[in-house]
Amino acid sequence: MPNARKKAVDCLIRCERGGYSNLVLLQELASGGFDARDRAFCTALVYGTLSRRITIDRLLERYVSVPLSRLDGEVLQILRSGVYQLFWMDSVPARAAVNESVALCRQFRKSSACGLVNAVLRKCSDADISEAFSGISERPELLSVRYSMDPELAGMLDGQYEDRTEEMLEAMFTGSGLYLRVNSLLTDEASAADSLKADGIETEPTGLANCLKVISGFSGRSETMERGEARIQSLPAQFSASCVGAEPGMKVLDMCSAPGGKTMCIAQDMRDTGSVTALDLSENRLELVRKLARREKIHIVETLCGDASVYDSSAVYDRILCDVPCSGYGEIASKPELRYKAPGVSEDLPELQYRILCNAAEMIAPDGRIVYSTCTLLERENQSVIKRFLGEYPGFRLAVPERLPSCAEVSGDMISFIPGSSSSEGFFVAVLCQM
C-alpha cells in the first residue's frame, strides 16, 4: 500500500518548485493504489502544510540551528508536514507524527537527517503554537505569521476590512463546501439530487436555481457527473452567471470565458437557443470550453480567440458577462499558493479590468445588461473599477437581483461574498443596466 505521508511530501516538493497544488495532487494521486481514506489524508496534509507554511517555518526557526533554506528540500518538507500534523491534525497522535516523519527520512534516503527531524519535532510537540508569534509588535507582520500570508497582502486586507479582518483570514483556512451545478438541459434539480444520491452523494438545495450543496459521499467520481448532468462549480460563480439574466433566443457575449463554467450556465438558462460567444485570449483554454460544451450537450456556444480589452465586434449583444482576470485572492481557501503572492504583482490589473468593462459598454444593446465579476477581495479591482466606470458612463446604473444567496452582502448596490461565518470564498458581482 502506498504511503500517504510520503506522497504528501512528494507533492510539497513539487509545489515548492512552482507546481500548482491542485494539479500536483491530481497528477500524484492518479497513479492509483490509494483508498479514499489515504487520498483524503494526503490531500489534507498537502493543503494544510501549504496553507500554514509561514507559521510553521516561524516555529521551526526556533529549533533548527541553521537557516531553513540550507536544509535539503526533502528534509524541510518532512519537517513542515510533521509540524502540521502535530498542531492541526487532531486525528494524528504526536508520537505518530514524529516517528512517521523520521521514517520518511529513510524513505527519501536522508537517514543522516533522522536525528535532526526527531529532535526538532519532539521539541515542537512540547511547544505552544503561540511561540511562533512571540516578539512581533507590528500588526501586518503578526497577521502574516498568525494567518500565514504575505505581509503586504495581510496589511492591505486589514486596511480594507478592519475589524472583520481576522474572522476573514481564519475562514480562509477552511473549505467553502462543495457545490454542484445541475445541467438543466439534461435533468432537473430534484432528479439530479436523486441520481446523485444513487451514486452515494448526499446533497441539499441552496435556494439558487440548479445549485446543490454536497453534504457527504463525494469521492471525486459520479456517474451522474460523467453523464454531464452535474459538475463542480462554486455557488458565487453560479450566482454571477445567473445575474446575466440570459433568456432563450438572446445574443450573449462572455468576454473572458475559459474554462467555460459560467458560459455553460448561461447557455442552459437560454435553453440552448440563441447564441453565446465565448471569447478568451488563450486558444488552448478555449478547447476546455468546447470540451465542456460537448460534455453538457450544448450547441449554441461559439468560441473565439481574442483580447477582451480590444475586441471589436459589429454585433450588439443583449447580455455581456465580464468575469475579468483578477488577483484571485477570494480563492485562497482552495488555492493556498495565493497566500504568498504579494499584491504588487497584480497592481496593473484594475486598468485592464476597466478597459474590458468599457469595451463591453460599446457592444451592449440599449436595454442590455453587463455583469462584472471577480474572485478577489481587493477593493481596487472591485468597487473602485465600478465607481470609475459609472463616472465615465453615466448612462448605466447598478441593479441588485431580488433574490440573493444568504452569504451575499450588498453595499452601494454591489454584491460581495466575504470569507467569514457563512462563506470561505471571496467574490464580487456588479450588475450594470442601461438607464
What pLDDT, in 10s, does the model give residues 163-172? Answer: 999 999 999 9
CA distance 90 to 229: 37
> Percentage of residues in the chain with pLDDT exceeding 70?
99
DSSP 280: E
- Confirm if 369 and 244 have CB atoms less than 8 A apart: yes
Which cell numbers hold the place of 235?
455557488
Which whole number is the average pLDDT over 366-376?
A: 97
How buried is residue 30: exposed, middle or buried, by Cβ count under 10 Å (0-12/13-18/19+)?
Answer: exposed
CA distance 394 to 53: 47
Q: Are strands 364-374 and 317-323 parallel, antiparallel or unpaired?
A: parallel
DSSP string computed for 151-181: HHHHHHHHHHHGGGHHHHHHHTTS----EEE
Which whole number is the average pLDDT over 28-35?
A: 80
- How confident is residue 424, by pLDDT bands cut at 50, 70 and 90? low
CB under 8 Å to 289, separation ≥6 — which residues?
257, 258, 259, 260, 263, 278, 280, 301, 303
Handedness of CA 65, 67, 73, 76 (dihedral sign): positive
Q: Which CATH superfamily, name and number, covers 235-434?
A: Vaccinia Virus protein VP39 (3.40.50.150)
- Say what the pLDDT of residue 81 is: 98
Whether the pLDDT of residue 96 is over 70: the answer is yes
CA-nearest of 336, 331, 309, 326 to 417 is: 331
> Percentage of residues in the chain with pLDDT exceeding 90?
87
Helix (H, G, I), strand (E, B) or coil at 359: helix
- Say what the pLDDT of residue 212 is: 97
Q: Which CATH superfamily, name and number, covers 179-232?
A: Sun protein; domain 3 (3.30.70.1170)
Report which of residues 352 and 1 the model is more confident about. 352
pTM, rounded to two decimals: 0.93
Which whole number is the average pLDDT over 59-79?
A: 96
3-state helix, strand and coil shares in percent for the chain, rounded to the nearest 5? 50, 15, 35
Q: How many CB atoms lie within 10 A of CB 32?
A: 6
Range of weakest confidence among 107-116, 133-142, 193-202, 372-381? 133-142
Range of weakest confidence among 24-28, 67-71, 115-119? 24-28
Which whole number is the average pLDDT over 220-228?
A: 90
- Say what the pLDDT of residue 420 is: 87
Q: What is the pLDDT of residues 337-348, one digit of tens each?
A: 999 999 999 999
- Say what the pLDDT of residue 396 is: 97
Q: Give the alpha-carbon dihedral of 252, 255, 261, 265, to 10 degrees.
A: -20
Return the CATH fold of 4-133.
Answer: N-utilizing Substance Protein B Homolog; Chain A (1.10.940)
Q: Are strands 414-417 and 408-411 parallel, antiparallel or unpaired?
A: antiparallel
Helix (H) or strand (E) holding 99: helix 94-107
Residue ranges of the chain assigned to CATH 3.40.50.150: 235-434
In the predicted model, what is the mean pLDDT of the chain? 95
Whether the pLDDT of residue 313 is over 90: the answer is no
Which whole number is the average pLDDT over 292-311?
A: 97
Q: Are strands 396-399 and 427-434 parallel, antiparallel or unpaired?
A: antiparallel
- Say what the pLDDT of residue 314 is: 85
- Say what the pLDDT of residue 1 is: 41
- How confident is residue 30, by pLDDT bands cut at 50, 70 and 90? confident
Residues in the chain: 435
Handedness of CA 266, 267, 273, 279 (dihedral sign): positive
Which whole number is the average pLDDT over 30-39?
A: 81
- Say what the pLDDT of residue 34 is: 82
Range of weakest confidence among 210-214, 215-219, 255-259? 215-219
- How confident is residue 2, by pLDDT bands cut at 50, 70 and 90? low
